Structure 1
Amino acid sequence: MGEYLTRHASAGDLGSLTATFFVLLALTGLALISTWLAFKDVREHKLPGTVVRPAWAASAVLFGSAAVLSGEPSRLLGMAGGAVVLWLLYYLLRRVSRGALGRGDVRLAGMLGTVLGFASPWHVLWATVLGFVVGGLYAVFLLISRRAGAADRVPFGPAMLAGTALSLVLV
């Protein structure tokens, strides 16, 4: 993502500068919404659709506009592919886990797939892997510290969001 921002911020033409602004606006919004969603999921085990769906739409509009304005419409396919792949993966995981993942996790996966797909397929892959690693480490921490037992539910949204943030920063 940094390479995209650097390249288009330094291009100097109106389309590239506007695209850079849209991406920065979308990332700022994502950071704010992600923080709120993480706290909400930890406290209440909920990722409300009334927040995730509009954030997903706003992300799609801002990143999609940036893709077109920067002359990289192929990123639209990446966005759609990322959204479909992650939504479907989490939907199937929800089905086979008999509800261990909530509907909010599935919606959030679609939204994050849109954002990550804009960056690259590698971001989608690494965010998913890192999300499961962070989630697993958090669950182990809760078990070792006796803050949760084997039968307790552990919110997964914060791990998904952390995996996304790590992927966007590190990959």
Structure 2
Amino acid sequence: MPLALLSGFLCGLLVWIFDVAPILPALLYLAVLGVLLGAIDARHKLLPNRLVLPFLLGALCLLGIASLISGTWLLFLGGVLGGAAMFVVYLIMALIKPGGMGMGDVKLAAVVGLYAGYLGLNAWLLVLVGAFILNAVAILVLMLGKVLTRKLEIPFGPSMIAATLMVPLVSGVG
């Protein structure tokens, strides 16, 4: 029930901010699947391929349709390039320190990079840096609350998704 409430709240905010903008369906898709994947990753430390890969394909389709409606093909190209670039950045990090970042995070990076790249270079950079900042804040809060010890890890997917959702919600860009 809390996940449905969170998804509904985020969708309501997005509708309020974006009204009937062509990007709205893609952002709603991000909110609903993002909350679901974030919850799965938080609980199981896993981002299942059977959800991440359709998430990427659905986002590509919805952002493509938004570009078709609005005639903003350069935004779509920016999204595709942003998704590829974010995937490469996360893949390099995963290869440099195996076990530090999972391959689910690397695949999710393609999705969040697609959205962020569609919104522009500044949004892309905010999502890249914002995910690490949000994760650090989450770790600090959990350690201060004595919920997390140094030996435990927290998943990175929720921070990636939160950073991606925060950019359009806070900036109204889209």
Are the equivalent residues in 1 in contact too, given 2:75–2:118 (CA < 8 A)?
yes
The corresponding residue for 2:10 is none
Instruction: Give the AA of the match of 1:157.
Output: G
Scaled by the length of structure 2, the TM-score of the pair is 0.83
The corresponding residue for 2:157 is 157
Q: How does 1:1-171 map to 2 (within 5 A)?
A: 20-21=21-22, 23-171=23-171
Offset of 1:167 from its aligned partner?
A: 1.3
Offset of 1:25 from its aligned partner?
A: 1.5
Distance 2:122 2:153 in 1: 30
Structure 2, unaligned runs of 5 or more: 1-13
**Could you list the runs of 4 or more consecutive aligned residues of structure 1 that deviate by over 4 angstroms after TM superposition?**
none
Structure 1, unaligned runs of 5 or more: 10-19
Scaled by the length of structure 1, the TM-score of the pair is 0.84
Are the equivalent residues in 1 in contact too, given 2:30–2:165 (CA < 8 A)?
no
Query: 138-147 vs 39-48, which deviates more?
Result: 138-147
Instruction: Give the AA of the match of 1:45.
Output: K
2:100 alignment partner, SS class? coil
1:149 alignment partner, SS class? coil
Deviation per CA, 1:121-164: give whole Å up to 9, x if none: 11111111111111001111222222122121211111111111
- What value does the CA root-mean-square deviation take over the aligned residues? 2.0
Offset of 1:43 from its aligned partner?
A: 0.6
The corresponding residue for 1:17 is none
